[in-house]
Structure 1
Amino acid sequence: MSTTYAVRDSVTMLRRNLRHLSRYPSLALMLIAIPVVFLLLFVYVFGGTLGAGLPVDGGGGRADYLNYLVPGIWIMTVASVANGTAVAVAIDRTGGMFDRFRTMDIAQVSVLTGHVLGAVIRTLLALTVMVGFALLLGFRSAAGVAGWFGVAGLVLLLAFSFTWLTVAMGLAAGSIETASNTPLVLMVLPFVSSGFVPTEQMPPGLRHFAEHQPFTPVIETLRALTSGAPVGSDGWTAVVWCVAIGLAGYVWSRRELTAVGRRGR
């Protein structure tokens, strides 16, 4: 099937996913609610204490901790939407939608592409809400136009990459419950990164893991972009991680899609 037909079919599947979003707004609200709760919890319950430990002159306060925390919350927003995508894929698979699509004259990968593109759009909407909410709480950024374009580009690259990974998880899951639990690791990893506390304050073994896992260079890059500081090597490391995870997720998804087709015959 030609690339033109694949693109056309992917757009059709994207429209299908957007219709689901409009018909079930409560699902989108739940995906946004989780990062909002964490933002409020860490700023207003732990922010005073955690902010005092930040490496700033004279120690930090709640306002300093808010600026430090926001990039990590954005990452959790991406992970939350990606988690919902795994569930949506599992619903399609267990509900027989993949069997129906297989009988149609469409590019089979477009079914997955529609989920991925829909998730990226949901991520963009959720992050817009989160940025506005953070600004209302007092978040301030020294980033210029180029810096904000860099933030948007990196976050969308991360969303695209991790969504392909969770699509594969949804296909590989044997049930909807499994699909909802497997991607939870993406919600846990930000806690073991520089998203909530500086890695320098962690024990040596945990610090080594935190500094070399995918989320830390992404968070550090976002933090540098929003503060107007030099990005350094973290920027390239973040991009490499995103590309590697996205490629692995895509290959895994195609393999699982082929396996689903074989089992359906």
Structure 2
Amino acid sequence: MSTVSHALTDSATMLRRNLKRMVRYPSMTLQLIGMPIVFLLLFVYVFGGTLGAGLGGVSGGRAEYVNYVTPAIILMTITAAVQGTTISIAMDMTEGIVDRFRTMAIARVSVLTGHVIGSLIQTMLSIAAVIGVALLIGFRPSAGPGDWLALIGVLVMMAFAFIWLSVAFGLASKTVESSSNVGMPLLLLPFLGSGFVPTDSMPTVLRWFAEYQPFTPLIETLRGLLMGTPVGNNAVIAVGWCVVIALGGYLWSKKLFNRESTR
């Protein structure tokens, strides 16, 4: 068996291991899906009437706001779902299972690959659930077939980037408890961007930060694809940020994993 086929076989085995763990311990998956849905319902039904009226538009109110806020909730779904990857990685590293894997004749790359692909599947299922709830409460995207295909590609790219970052967070965490908090800024940044209110409504300093932080072009790209509005240069900036985050997360993860291997 060649090195590549050996790595692919071992990665598939590790992927099955992670998928089985998701099935056997569904509480984490339900929590990671439930939190964005709670935020969606909270902002639409509690704040949507007021915030939606400020957006203008034909319908106004909640009907206008659910279309505006859903892209931000989708991005929050990605950052929430990959938080589970951070915890899973930290559990494997602290409980000794990775040390056992290293004594076996398996490809080392498969240990992290199984987590990444498993988390990607979990994240896309979470996004589908959130979009389904959004449609039930009034979300009405105007995207065409081409826009939906582009949206799926963008979501996979975003999820892949943040998953690798979460892998690095898990490897860097000393305990499982600390790993659950290290990704918290990823959940807060959408609030400091264009996710919930337009950046034009913010004070000057905060508006400058909101316009140049990475989550704003990511959200605006999703919003443009879903609502059929011009994306402008946000798509290029979003791709650039995803490449930087994915590459940085991968290189950091590789360095941390290799350092653990030499101990």
Secondary structure at 1:116's aligned position in 2?
helix
Structure 2 CA distance, aligned partners of 1:204 and 1:116? Answer: 39
Instruction: Provide the residue aligned with 1:140 in structure 2.
Output: 140
Gaps of 5+ in 1: none
Q: Identify the residue that residue 82 of structure 1 maps to in structure 2.
A: 82
Maintained 8 Å contact 2:57/2:64? no
| Distance of 2:59 and 2:208 partners within structure 1 | 25
Q: How does 1:59-208 map to 2 (within 5 A)?
A: 60-208=60-208
Return the offset for 1:230.
Answer: 1.8
Q: State the distance in 2 between where 1:201 and 1:252 align.
A: 37
User: Who is 1:10 aligned against?
Assistant: 11
Q: What is the aligned length?
A: 262
Give the superposition deviation at 1:57.
Answer: 3.9
Question: 1:3: how far off?
Answer: 2.0
Do residues 47 (structure 1) and 48 (structure 2) align? yes
More displaced 10-residue stretch of structure 1: 85-94 or 199-208: 199-208
The one-character-per-residue Cα deviations of 1:45-100 (angstroms, maximum 9, x if unpaired) are 1111111221x346831110000000000001000111111000000000001101
Residue 238 of structure 2 corresponds to 238
| Aligned mates of 1:3, 1:101 — CA distance in 2 | 18
Work out the percentage of aligned pairs sharing the same amino acid.
54
Q: Measure, in 1, the Cα distance between the counterparts of 2:88 and 2:190.
A: 23
Question: What is the alpha-carbon root mean square deviation over aligned residues?
Answer: 1.2
Q: Cα deviations across residues 122-142 of structure 1 (Å, max 9, x unaligned)?
A: 011111111111000010011
Give distance in 1, aligned partners of 2:178 and 2:259. 18
Partner of 1:21: 22
SS in 1 for 2:60: coil
Please give the per-residue CA displacement for 1:130-157, whole angstroms capped at 9, x wherever unaligned: 1111000010011011111111111111
- In the TM superposition, what whole-angstrom CA distance separates every residue of 1:227-258 from its partner, at most 9, and x where no partner exists? 11122110111011001100000000000001
Distance 1:218 1:138 in 2: 23
> Counterpart of 2:154 in structure 1: which amino acid?
L
Q: Confirm or deny: 8 A CA contact 1:53 1:59 kept in the other structure.
A: no
**One-letter amino acid of the counterpart of residue 105, structure 2:** D
TM-score by length of 1: 0.96
- CA offset at residue 215 of structure 1? 1.0
Partner AA of 1:213 in structure 2: Q
TM-score, scaled relative to structure 2: 0.97
Counterpart AA for 1:87:
I
**2:156 and 2:43 mapped to 1: Cα distance?**
25
Unaligned runs of 5+ in 2: none
Q: Which amino acid aligns with 1:111?
A: V
Partner Cα distance (1:111, 1:127) in 2: 25
2:227 pairs with 1:213? no
Distance 1:179 1:32 in 2: 19
What letter corresponds to residue 223 of structure 1 in structure 2? R
Could you tell me which amino acid in structure 1 is paired with residue 36 of structure 2?
P
